[in-house]
Amino acid sequence: MTTKSLNAKFIISAEKLSQCPEFSIPEFPLLGRSNVGKSSFINALANNKKLAKTSNTPGKTRLINFFNFANEFTIADLPGYGYAKVSKEAQAKWQRYLEEYLLKRTQIKCLIQFIDARHEIQKNDFQMREWVNSQKLPIITVVTKIDCISRGSIQKVLNDIKKQLGGDVLPFSAEDRFYCDKTIEYLLNLCK
């Protein structure tokens, strides 16, 4: 069980770069398919189940939601990709806004891509990673729902994901806040 958590608060939602808050602290945008556990990740790090709204309906996050963690860093929860009951025009607009944000936001320290431990890496996960790598943006992977697979297979799953995506791969469980301390320490180290 973890003891570490950073006092966190929701700041603002923004649709596009020009509406993003002015901060000088490092920022970590969260990338991932809908329902991969981004909101639960925020809540687990903050040790506050009500901070980020979680939903069983994929595609609920439509804006960039900013959370300040004890003035150490900001987490930006981005709309999930791969599922959204919205028009093609709305999706194209999101994509344009998100690209502008990811490419021009100077506070971004590192992107965090989320992969569900229970499933194979999906096509749109690979596409997102290819785009990020082509733009030479720093990125790490957080493997969520690690509590849903057997203890014996955790290392194999992590190794497989590392082999396919490269870079640092962190296990995570919002359910029992397992690996929470290590994740917070990892992010704080990146901030230095």
List pLDDT tens digits, range 117-135.
999 999 999 999 999 999 9
Q: For residues 172 and 142, give the distance between their C-alpha atoms in angstroms, rounded to a whole number.
A: 7
User: In the predicted model, is pLDDT for residue 3 greater than 70?
Assistant: no
Q: Return the percentage of the chain with pLDDT > 90, whole number.
A: 73
The pLDDT score that the predictor gives to residue 4 is: 64
Model-level pTM? 0.92
Residue 156's alpha-carbon distances to 35, 41, 115, in angstroms, are 23, 22, 14
